[in-house]
A and B are shown apart, each in its own frame.
Chain A
Amino acid sequence: MAMNNRGWIMSAAVVAVLILGSCSTEVKRIDVNQVRDISGTWNDTDSRLVSEEMIRDSLSAGWINRYSLSLRKAPVVIIGKIRNLSQEHINTNTFVNDLERAFVNSGRVDVVASSSERGDIRDERADMDLNAAEVTRKEMGKEAGADYMLMGTINTIIDASGSEQIRFYQVDLTLVSLADNRIVWTGQKKLKKDIKNAKFR
């Protein structure tokens, strides 16, 4: 039976919707803990594995108790530089912020603003001097000094040949006493990946 004009238009519309629908960008929310490796380079899973290890190790190590028992207060930590000595551009803020959050939320370690954050705070305090009511004004020169600085490095070793690579990551974090340069804690996380790139596309 011959299809009438309306039938043709409807069919064409359905086909057009099917074709054009596949051209649109697709976004799907996924769980943050879901492991999805796409290129084999450093990703959110690596960052999470590092932060989990570092948080567990740093909070269970003896340095907090030793400090608290001897001085009867919580140690104060400042976040220093985590040097990226790897072959990838790695954002270290993700796991460092996780660690900072764990310190603060544990109630056992105080964290002070880093050198890059201090500028804004001092600007605000200077602004208060001029504009804030006296009872709410915060004075200069009363910042908490840090006892320890968190420092670290990310190193990689890459063994590559043809379309296969072994990537080894080592993240080392240390807490150094600002009073006498003693290292009171070191944390380490190693990750290793075997990456085989497609030979055909």
Chain B
Amino acid sequence: MAISPDRAFGCDLPGRQLPGLLVLLAVFVLPGCATYSVGIAKVEHETSNRNLSAAFKSLDELKLTGADRMLYYLNKGILLRFQGDYAASNLQFESAKRLLEHLNAISVTEQTGSVVVNDTVKAYEGTGNEQYLIYAFKELNYLQSGNVDDAAVEARQFDIKQRLTAEKDPSAAYLSGAFVRYLNGMVYEEAGESDSARIDYSKAVDGYKAQSSITGLGVPADLKSDLDRLEGPRPRSNSIRAQKPAGAARQSTDAPDNGEVVFILQDGLGPTLAESIVRIVNPDPQNGAVILSVAVPRFIQRPVPVTRFELSGGSASASSELVDDVNAIARKSLEDRLPAITARAVARMVLKNAMARKIKNQNRDNESGGMLLSIVTDVGAIVSERADTRSWSLLPGNILMARLALPPGKHDLKVTYYNHAGNVLAVRDYDAVSVVAGRKVFVSDYYLGNSTTAKIPVVGVP
């Protein structure tokens, strides 16, 4: 025997009232759900001001639970990393990875919810590149804690991750994880696994080439040098000869007794998503919702404050290279996802209109109550239509890297950040950085500038 929806709730609601009550519930519940990108702005602002304790507090106040739990882990992981608490940061990133494994399985409830209500009911999994960067930050956290073997474990895990992503979406060649591969190569070298390092350097070169039409980036000169060095005196026919620009970091091949400082800057805030809503007046409002709405996310790129930086120690210096254009990859990723997002939004509009028509038809005889229910239905259809504007907000817009070969010993380092006009934005000093012969030491910083001043408008086209 089929169970009618109203009986399924264990009560005797008249069939015509249940859809109305659901819509009423949506009216009261959903207006409280401001888009994620608006809610996270305070966290971004505090982080930009390097007021991390306030940023932690603001993040906790957002109460990112349920479908948004992943965003809590990711943003908290970054904040802890900025604070230099690498072990705690990795705990958050590990939680994110475990959640990701769980979310690999399809939830029928969430899939249905995304068609009936909106995309925000689906648990946030992160985009492909966001998922890759979890591995990169975990590796860096381990490296900066002096734990090379655990960093190598992450590098090996990434290899499987990237392979599975490529298998799932073979057309997305830009999801090559070039930067993570580059980092993996350095990790493997530190772990003494030169064959693995060579393979990952080689994949990184291929990855940068695959991304170049989107990012406009070439292969970093230091990476080319690494690959050539490991391929030996007779490089393979498809290898790239290093064309090292003046000022680029010297490699350990230049002076075998040197060590190397690898400085990584998380530059600016990555993109955010805003909501674009298209609202159309229904030409036949008596047989459906008065207003038909479709909401989709829109890409907002925020300014990246540091164009380049200079790393110096004593008389030696090195210029930064752009190693990951997070903004460009995120833009392309949204472009690829947008057709499916739009199709779901249109399907929702049709479904909500059909529900509104049914409710109105069923309540035509009930004058006062019917009118109230019609209004509630119309408002419910409008307010429940929200775009999914969630993203890993504290990701950088770019990642810059400089590598400086130095003799063993303690070195006072100076890092100078420049904007696009060549003006100095900030100077950071790192005292007594210990350099060991033949080894790399990893140092990192973040500079978010005033990028959170970018407005996040909600575009409504009535």
Contact = CB atoms under 8 A, between A and B. Distances in A.
Contacts of A162: 164, 167
B104 interface: yes
A197 B98 CA distance: 13
B105 A197 contact: yes
B104 A163 contact: yes
A199 B152 CA distance: 29
Interface string B150-186: 1011001101100110010000000000000000000
B107 interface: yes
Contacts of B152: 85
Most buried by B among A39, A84, A89, A200: A89
Nearest to A87: B156
Chain A to chain B: the 5 pairs with minimum beta-carbon distance, closest first: A201-B105, A87-B156, A198-B105, A87-B157, A201-B107
Interface string A168-185: 000000000000000000
Contacts of A160: 160, 163-164
28 contacts: A39-B101, A83-B149, A84-B153, A85-B152, A85-B156, A86-B153, A87-B153, A87-B157, A87-B159, A87-B160, A88-B153, A89-B153, A158-B160, A160-B160, A160-B163, A160-B164, A162-B167, A163-B104, A197-B101, A197-B104, A197-B105, A198-B105, A199-B106, A200-B106, A200-B108, A201-B103, A201-B106, A201-B107
Contacts of B234: none
A200 B160 contact: no
Interface in A70-110: 83-89
Most buried by A among B150, B152, B159: B152
Contacts of B101: 39, 197
B236 interface: no
B102 interface: yes
Contact of A200 (B107, B163, B193): B107
A199 B294 CA distance: 30
A88 B152 CA distance: 10
Contact of B156 (A83, A86, A163): A86
Interface string A146-164: 0000000000101011110
A85 B154 CA distance: 11
A163 B102 CA distance: 11
Contacts of A198: 105
Interface string B180-217: 00000000000001000000000000000000000000
A93 to B, nearest CB: 14
Contacts of B159: 87
Nearest to A165: B160
B177 to A, nearest CB: 16
A163 B106 CA distance: 11
B149 A84 contact: yes
Interface string B255-278: 000000000000000000000000
A86 B105 CA distance: 25
A11 B113 CA distance: 35
Contacts of A89: 150, 153
A162 B166 CA distance: 11
A183 B330 CA distance: 53
Contacts of A200: 105-108
B2 to A, nearest CB: 23
A201 B156 contact: no
A84 B147 CA distance: 12
A161 B166 CA distance: 11
Contacts of A197: 101, 104-105
A170 to B, nearest CB: 14
Given A87-B160, A158-B160, A160-B164, A199 B153 contact: no
A88 B156 CA distance: 8
Contacts of A201: 102-103, 105-107
Nearest to A163: B104
Given A88-B153, A199-B106, 18 more contacts: A39-B101, A83-B149, A85-B156, A86-B153, A87-B153, A87-B156, A87-B159, A87-B160, A156-B156, A160-B163, A160-B164, A161-B164, A161-B167, A163-B104, A197-B101, A197-B105, A200-B106, A201-B102
Contacts of A163: 104-105
Nearest to B106: A200
A200 B107 CA distance: 6
A118 to B, nearest CB: 20
Nearest to B152: A85
A82 B107 CA distance: 41
Nearest to B105: A201
Interface in B88-112: 101-108
Nearest to B193: A85
A164 to B, nearest CB: 11
Contacts of A87: 153, 156-157, 159-160
Interface string A124-143: 00000000000000000000
Nearest to A199: B105
A174 to B, nearest CB: 17
Contacts of B103: 201
A190 to B, nearest CB: 18
A59 to B, nearest CB: 29
Interface in A37-90: 39, 83-89
